[in-house]
Amino acid sequence: MNRQIRIATAALAASLLAACASTAPSPRATSASPAMSTAKEGAVNLSAASGSLVSGALVLRPMGDGVHITGEVGGLKPGDVRGFHIHERGDCSAADASTAGGHFNPGAQPHGRASQGAHHAGDSDNLVADGKGVARVDAHVRGVTLGGGAANDIAGRAIIVHAAADDYTTQPTGNAGARVACGVIRILR
């Protein structure tokens, strides 16, 4: 019960902050606490990169303390385990998707596993392909928003699928290898 009250208080404080921020110049670079999502739904079309045949489609929805990502990634080999992250720039124009920059990391944290201790805001668990080479995505990314323009807003950034598994340890990339699919997070509504 206490926890729920604290969460409600935090949400109220965040909404008040967001209301104040809307009249101020862009808070993106300086906001220290998570603001609220202003969008209801986003989407990503993952297109092949680095000469791969990997592609996919994702839907993003604000949920609880973050954003939930669902969808499918295809063109993998059965049983493949692949790094999957939000990267800082929504630019997939380079053939190797290097234009998407590094992992989205507004809190200046070390790379890690999303469910365990310090990690980049854009870190997420590896995708695992089924027997047909399709990975079903069902990922919750805590501490980020969809829309709103604060430092932790992931709208307009990129989602990347890698050629190898993220070891959740190697800095700053998880040693996940080449970028084999890339797509920009766009707001639908």
Site track for Cu ion across 139-168, x = CB under 5 A? ---------------------x--------
Binding segment for Cu ion (CB under 5 A), chosen from 30-38, 43-51, 77-85, 125-133, is 77-85
List the beta strands (DSSP E) in the chain.
Answer: 42-48, 55-63, 66-74, 81-87, 123-128, 135-142, 158-162, 179-184, 186-187
Nearer to Cu ion, 54 or 160 (CB): 160
Distance between CA atoms of 60 and 1, rounded to whole angstroms? 29
Dist. CA 25–CA 43, nearest whole Å: 27
CB of 18 or CB of 100, closer to Cu ion: 100
58 binds Cu ion (CB under 5 A): no
What is the chain's percent helix, strand, coil content, to nearest 5?
Answer: 10, 35, 55
Site membership for Cu ion, residue 120 (CB under 5 A): no
* Distance of closest approach, residue 182 Cβ to Cu ion, in angstroms: 9
Nearer to Cu ion, 102 or 143 (CB): 102
DSSP string, 103-129: B--TT-PPP-BTTBSS--TTEEEEEE-
Q: How far is the CB of 84 from Cu ion (least distance, A)?
A: 7
Task: Return the half-sphere exposure (C-beta side, CA atoms, 13 A cut-off) of residue 14.
Answer: 20
End-to-end CA distance of the chain: 33
Residue span binding Cu ion (CB under 5 A) among the ranges 68-76, 84-92, 139-147, 149-157: 84-92
Please identify, among the stretches 24-32, 57-65, 79-87, 135-143, the one whose residues bind Cu ion according to the rule CB under 5 A.
79-87
Closest-by-Cβ residue to Cu ion is 85
Q: Shortest gap between Cβ of 58 and Cu ion (angstroms)?
A: 14
Choice from 82, 85, 119, 120 touching Cu ion (CB under 5 A): 85
Rounded CA separation 109/171 (Å): 11
Residue 49 touches Cu ion, criterion: CB under 5 A: no
Binding footprint of Cu ion on the chain (CB under 5 A): 85, 160
